[in-house]
Structures are given as structure tokens and as C-alpha cells.
Amino acid sequence: MKKIFIYNQIWILLLIFTIAGCESDKKFLIEEPATFYTTDNAFSTSAQIDQVLVGIYAQLRDLWANSTEAAWIFVFRGNGTDMFDVPSIRRGNTFNNYGTINPDHSHFLNIYSAWYQIIAKANLALYAAELPQISWSSPAEKSYVLAQARFFRAFAYRNLGELFGGVPIVTEISKTAKYDFERSSRVETYQFAIDELLAIENDLPGTTLSGGRLVRAAAQHNICELYLALGIQLAAEGNSSAAQTAFSSSVSYGNKVIDGGLYSLLNNRFGKRKNELAINIPVYRQGSTSSPVGTLEQITNYYWDLFQEGNVNFQDGNTECIWALQTDYAAYKAEDGRARLPYSRTYGPVFRDGAKDHLTGTLEDVGGRGISQIIPTMYTRDTVYKGKWAVDMRNSDVVFRRTFIGNVATSPYYLQTIPWDVIYKGSADESTNNNNRSLCYPVSCKIATDKYTGLDAGENRSNLFRDDYFIRLSETILLRAEAKQRSGNKNGAASDINLLRSRAQCSYLVTAADMDDNFNMILDERARELVYEECRWNTLLRMGGTIAVDRIAKFAYWPEAQATLTFDYNLWPIPQTVIDTNKDIVLEQNPGWE
């Protein structure tokens, strides 16, 4: 026994020394940083909180302009809708083949995640703004910071509600992993965003000294859209009385913006190029810059003025601009490679492939250095202007250019206008024509210019360096028109449409009889007015019913949509990854995507 006791004593001593040694090693391995940042001590000044907001502005700029040319952002901006598709050379990027579109598709997850990233940043700014160590120059400074953060959070939930329906409402920062998020309803999602914006409406200024920062009308415009969306959903659920109340509120908030006296549609020349009654686009032989061999003269107008460099912001005298993303050539060259609009590159046609016997090059005469990431469908480029709609300033050649001068010396149309029948039907093979036609289309003044910035410093007609619209008054008018129509006031809806049609000097004004119950008139007018501006998926899915499915099946460029879109939906699916990782509570999938 004594021997066993001695052995036990020795074993215990060895164990104690071993443990002590391990503890020493553990202490050696533990990092003891000089500073350890947490959400509570990372912020010491109000300027640091403002930088969180600047990060959101930058993220939204990148989401709209898509300087990284991400396929999922092209989808968010409209690829796969009635308005946009992909060209023949990019069929692999189609978002109209429903044999491959399902809840596992990465585009849904990327878009869903982008909005929650913005929500997380907004929540962080709101949390940091209340930390005791933060001092503010004035109560107004703090109020504006809080108002911007809450706007961004509401804006994110408006987009999530329109695209995905009811989603988890997250209002606080998370410091630990969480697997039990619960979906709100679509009505609750819209109502949360409305309440957020109502709370901060009067904390946003009427105007700002410089462009880009949020103003009160941006909140009012979004409240108008949210009440419209809320009313549509309430009506779909059978609550017609509450729906009518929501539509009435939508009209009221549209009135605040449209009739408030600060904003108005531009009906006269303005801005940096208002004295240029015409522009001359040089025509280059074989696409070479050696010397122009001809010019194309185009008569300018005030709609064209809206999209010229230096003309976009309210501070530039543009009374239609409510909120604009900011680009800056100097910042782009110095440090911010995303401070640009790569629209000539990403949206521009590729005549050098689709009509190579007549047109070539990457210069102004063909709309710049286009590589055609997404294309306007035949509906967008032609159908909406056929017949009685053809006389329209938005379809004038300087705005939506359809005149192209042959620059290939061997072409029978060299230095002559090339007929579209020749461009569209240049081959005896219809399949070839269809492919070529996808690459050749009119060039909007929203994606190209006759005066590219930075050519002397190496720029190559890929980028525009003007600011761009998040919200333009025209869209507020179209939202109010829809709210009026859904309230039963088709005369009022027609009057709002005619505000835009009169401004565009259209030969045909609409009547109440034109305001069809499927909202084709509204959607067509949005296509004319807001091409390359609106997020078409938001519009189609917000409208509910089978509007999105019907229009995609009817107007998609390629036949995959008609062949594979065999089910109805009016929401995108909740990404399957989100459902799978929320392991403690089941997130139900949206109808049609189960």
C-alpha cells in the first residue's frame, strides 16, 4: 500500500508540474494586443460615424454603376426582365433560362446579402451615434447622421420587400452568431420601412450644398413607393379598405414631392451645353482615329441636357434630380477606380461583330467601346415607340440614336446612313441575323456621349464621368400615376402620364381609356422614360400577380424564357443558403420556388 501511495504521490506531482507548464505555455500563446477594437471603443468622433455612412453611399454607387461588371448586379439592374436580356456572345449569362434559375442561384444570394450588408452598416452607425464618448457639433448634426442611417435601412428593406417579400427585420448589431431569424410578412416589411422614413422625414434637409447627400424628397419619394407597394399587397390579401388608404397615402406623398415647389420637370435648355443647338459626331474610316472622314449632325434638346456631364445634380440647376450617385474623374485617377460609369462599355452595342460589313471601331460614331454585357430587348428599343407613340423627344435621334453612318470603305453604305433592315437582316441565315441583331441596337444618350472625358490621359471611351440618378422626379410622377389608377382614378393617372408626354413633346396624349387594368400603359411609359435608370425587377415584382411572368415570357429576346418559364411567381426565392443556415427556425420558401 505504501509503495502504491508513493507512486501516486509522484504521479500527482508530475501532473501538477505538467499542468503548470501547460498553463505557462498557454499564457505565452495568448495574444495581448496593445489595443482591442470593439463596437464600443472603435468610434471616438462623429466624423468616424459619418465614414460608415460614406461607405454606404459608395456601396450604393457601386451597386448602381456596376464598375466591377458583376453579373448579379446586371440582374439587379434589370437583366432577365421584359426590358433587358443578354447578347448572343453572352448566352451563358442569361437570366431567362428557368432550367437553371432556382433558390440556389448565386445571384439571389448576392443581391439579398448586399441589402443586409447595408442594413448592418446602418445599424452600426445608429449604435455608434449613441455611444457616450461621441460629441456632436450640434443636435442638427446628430439628427442628420441618424436620419441618413435610418433612411438607408428603410431603403434596403423596401428593396428586400419588393424583391423577396417578407424578410427578417434586424435593427441591432449582432455580436454573436444567430441562427433563429424569423421572417416578417411582406406587409410588415413595407410598414417597417414606412415607419422608419416617417420618423426621419423632417430631419433630412430640403437641399444640400453639394450633390449626393440625402434630402427630404428622397424619403418622401420612397414613402410614396412604399405605400403603393403596401396597398398592392393588402389588396392581394383581400384587405381592400386598408389598400385604398395606402394608395391615398402614396398619392399624398407623391404630391409633396411633385407639387412642393422645389422640383419640376425641365422644359427648357439648361446646363453646361445649353447653347449647343447641335452636335457633330465624327465618323472614322475603319474605326481609326487618324482623321474623321465625315460627321453626323444631331439636333440637341432639353431631355438630352439631363444626361450631360455637369448637369445631373440639383445643384447644377437640374430641378428633376432628387438624389444622385457621384462620380469624379480626379478621384478616379488618383485613388477611386470605381468613381465612374462604365456604361459605354457594359451597355454599348458591338456593331464591329454584328454589322462588321458596314460598321466597325470603338469610337464615338458607334457609341464608344461597347462590349454589350446586357442588351435592350426589341420591346425596349422598338415596340414601345411603334405607331401612335413614335413622335416622342425620348426617341429623338440625339437621345436614342438610331442613325449610324457606314465607316467600312467596302460597304455600299460607306458614309451613308445604314438602314436597320440591313443591320438586322444582313445574312441569308435567320439564326445569324438573330445573333447579330442582339449585338446591334440604338445608343441612348444615357450610356454614351460625343465628348468623352480623359481621352488625352489614356481613357478609351468606355466610361462616363457624369453623376447618375438614383431618383428623378419623373419616377415620382409615374408612381403617383399608378397609385391614382389603383385608387380608381384613371383620369388622374392619365393626367400624370401626360405630364411626361407633354414634356417629351409627344403627338399623342393618353386618356383614361388608355390606362389598362394590367398596367401596361404605366410599364410602357416607365420603359420610355426610365430606360437604364429604374430597377425593373423591383417594379415588376412589386406589381404582383403574374405581371412579371407574363411580360418576361412575352418580351424576352431569347426563346429560353418561353420554353422554361412554366410556373408563376411574383417574388424571388429566399436564397437556399439563407434558409439552410438559419437552422433554429424554419424560413418558409416563397410560392413557386418550393
Distance CA 46, CA 133 (A): 10
Distance CA 441, CA 444 (A): 9
Q: Please give the backbone phi and psi of residue 280, each rounded to the nearest 5 degrees, phi first.
A: -120, 110
pLDDT of residue 26: 54
Cα atoms in the Cβ-side hemisphere of radius 13 Å centred on 407: 28
> Which residues are CB-neighbours of 494 under 8 A, at least 6 positions away?
481, 509, 510, 511, 512, 514, 515
Cα angle for residues 154, 160, 161 (degrees, 5° grid): 85
> Considering all CA atoms of the chain, what is the largest pairwise distance in Å, rounded to the nearest integer?
115
Distance CA 295, CA 306 (A): 24
Distance CA 518, CA 249 (A): 22
Distance CA 256, CA 252 (A): 6
Distances (CA, A) of 87 to 344, 375, 429, 447: 15, 6, 17, 17
pLDDT of residue 327: 96
Question: For residue 277, with 0-12 CB atoms within 10 Å meaning exposed, 13-18 middle and 19 or more buried, which class applies?
Answer: exposed
- pTM score, whole prediction: 0.93
Q: Please give the backbone phi and psi of residue 150, each rounded to the nearest 5 degrees, phi first.
A: -70, -35
For residues 363-393, one letter each, b for 16 or more C-beta atoms within 10 angstroms of the residue's C-beta and e for the rest, the string is bbbbbbbbbbbbbbbbbbbebbbeeebeebb
Question: Residue 281 carries which DSSP code?
Answer: E
CA dihedral 363, 364, 366, 370 (to 10 degrees): 60
Kind and range of the H or E run holding 293: strand 292-299
Q: Please give the backbone phi and psi of residue 292, each rounded to the nearest 5 degrees, phi first.
A: -65, 145
The answer to whether 363 and 405 have CB atoms below 8 angstroms apart is no
The answer to whether 481 and 496 have CB atoms below 8 angstroms apart is yes
- The one-letter amino acid code at 157 reads Y
What stretches of 377-434 adopt beta strand conformation (E)?
Answer: 400-401
* Residue carrying the nine cell digits 438602314: 419
Residue 278 bridge partners (DSSP): 299
* Coil vs helix vs strand at 84: strand
Comparing CA positions, the residue from 549, 592, 586 lying closest to residue 573 is 592
The answer to whether 539 and 552 have CB atoms below 8 angstroms apart is no
> Which residues are CB-neighbours of 442 under 8 A, at least 6 positions away?
376, 381, 400, 401, 402
Question: For residue 403, with 0-12 CB atoms within 10 Å meaning exposed, 13-18 middle and 19 or more buried, which class applies?
Answer: middle
The whole-angstrom distance between residue 31's C-alpha and the CA centroid of its chain comes to 44
Distance CA 145, CA 129 (A): 8
Q: Please give the backbone phi and psi of residue 340, each rounded to the nearest 5 degrees, phi first.
A: -160, 165
Q: Can you give the three-state secondary structure of 552-588, one letter per residue?
A: HHHHCCCCHHHHHCCCCCCCCCCCHHHHHHCCCCCCC
Residue 475 bridge partners (DSSP): none
Q: Which string of DSSP letters, residue by residue, matches 460-518?
A: -SS-B-S-EEEEEHHHHHHHHHHHHHHTT-HHHHHHHHHHHHHHTT-S----GGG--TT
Q: Please give the chain's pLDDT, 594 residues, in tens.
A: 333 333 344 343 333 334 444 444 555 455 555 556 677 888 999 999 999 999 999 999 999 999 999 999 999 999 999 999 999 999 999 999 999 999 999 999 999 999 999 999 999 999 999 999 999 999 999 999 999 999 999 999 999 999 999 999 999 998 889 999 999 999 999 999 999 999 999 999 999 999 999 999 999 999 999 999 999 999 999 999 999 999 999 999 999 999 999 999 999 999 999 999 999 999 999 999 888 999 999 999 999 999 999 999 999 999 999 999 999 999 999 999 999 999 999 999 999 999 999 999 999 999 999 999 999 999 999 999 998 888 999 999 999 999 999 999 999 999 999 999 999 999 999 999 999 999 999 999 999 999 999 999 999 999 999 999 999 999 999 999 999 999 999 999 999 999 999 999 999 999 999 999 999 999 999 999 999 999 999 999 999 999 999 999 999 999 999 999 999 999 999 999 999 999 999 999 999 999
Distance CA 362, CA 375 (A): 17
* Residue carrying the nine cell digits 441618424: 146
Comparing CA positions, the residue from 195, 173, 174 lying closest to residue 184 is 195
* Residue carrying the nine cell digits 384613371: 490
Q: Please give the backbone phi and psi of residue 281, each rounded to the nearest 5 degrees, phi first.
A: -90, 120
Residue 414 bridge partners (DSSP): 406
pLDDT of residue 290: 82
Distance CA 236, CA 318 (A): 38
pLDDT of residue 2: 35
User: What does the chain come to in residues?
Assistant: 594
pLDDT of residue 260: 97
Domains and CATH numbers, the chain: 46-203+573-581 (1.25.40.390), 278-318+327-466 (no CATH)
